[in-house]
Amino acid sequence: LRTRASAAAPPETSRRALLGLTEPELRQLAVDLGQQQSYRGKQLHDLVYKNRAKQVEEFAYVPKVFREALVGAGWNVGRSPVHHAVTATDGTTKILLKLEDNRLVETVGIPVDDRGTPRLTACVSSQVGCPLRCSFCATGKGGFARNLKGHEIVEQVLAIEESFKHRVTNVVFMGMGEPMLNLKAVLEAHQCLNKELKIGQRMMTISTVGVPNTISKLASHKLQSTLAVSLHAPNQRLRETIVPSAKAYPLEALMDDCKNYFLETGRRVSFEYTLLAGINDEKAHAEELAALLHACGGGYHVNLIPYNPVEGSEYKRPYRKAIQAFVDALESRKITVSVRQTRGLDANAACGQLRNEFQKNPLLESSPPSEPNQLLESSTPSEPSLVPA
């Protein structure tokens, strides 16, 4: 607790956020700042997580001297303003948040009517950009700036809830960045979302393209969340051309780690596979993929993602006939498969594209927010839904 919520004033460059702290931590912080009443920490908790206050100055029923002590010790709520938002004709909304260092990060809200039950999925980013530079991914083309802090991940979910005026039911760590390269902050955010925002662990999915020695670390936490591994190829040679980082993490080692993850956690691993026309979408690829999964045991699921075109990329989206043939080849070999539903964000659809349009470098302090909630017509290829199957 003392390392997360000690009261000593930090340098201006390391301002600390109340968002992400637990109620016991907030109670201790209140005591550290001279508040004798035990309920002050509970008030902070309610203001941050229930009232959704965005600034300490908005803490209306907290004594002024306490508010001043919080600010003086370098504490803020940890909420960032919306810089830009676009909403597609189906309701899917992509939001750019402007962080305190003027970097932009994307988050996506995806509404679904699940057999009459409304569901809202938040697709959250874990990094500003991504250093892995997968060849088909818009995020990597925009470069990498830094890891996100835990509260900067949590606040994306709050921004989605405020945009939709609806509770988020599912969270997928499938936005900008590689979650396993920022595992500490991802786990902090996961715990906060579960304990403070009451989103069930089984309603969350953590995605990875594969980083050596991290899947075993994740398994040791025994989370009840789904691990989604971005495979994109059925063999090492092809995978290296699509996912450059695969050179440091052979497919055989990755699959062994996935098998061990299932054995240690009892949770099924889902495999993401982006279909690229003429590259990895042939029937022979599907047959090889099925053999790879059967060799690692049973219980696996493949989520096929028809490629969403990115400006400047040589890749193309497969035709429906090719997609269906791939599905049929997997299902005939007893592999559970789904095709990610195409929907949402009719322009700048791929992950990272909207951020790339608005930012290559940190924004100037005077950069104004764009007009939010611009409605876009669905006249161009749209984004695959990020709702886990």
Enzyme catalytic residues: 106, 351
In terms of C-beta density within 10 A (0-12 exposed, 13-18 middle, 19 or more buried), how is residue 69 classed?
buried
Q: Note whether 78 and 19 are within 8 A (CB).
A: yes
DSSP-derived secondary structure letter, 9 = P
Q: Which of 133, 224, 242 is nearest to 178 (CA)?
A: 133
205, 208, 211, 212 alpha-carbon torsion, rounded to 10°: 50
Q: Quick check: helix, strand or coil at residue 272?
A: strand
> Where do runs of H (alpha helix) occur along the chain?
2-5, 23-32, 39-49, 64-72, 138-141, 150-164, 183-195, 215-220, 236-242, 251-265, 283-295, 320-331, 353-358
Strands 82-87 and 93-98: antiparallel
Q: Note whether 72 and 10 are within 8 A (CB).
A: no
d(CA 367, CA 17): 23
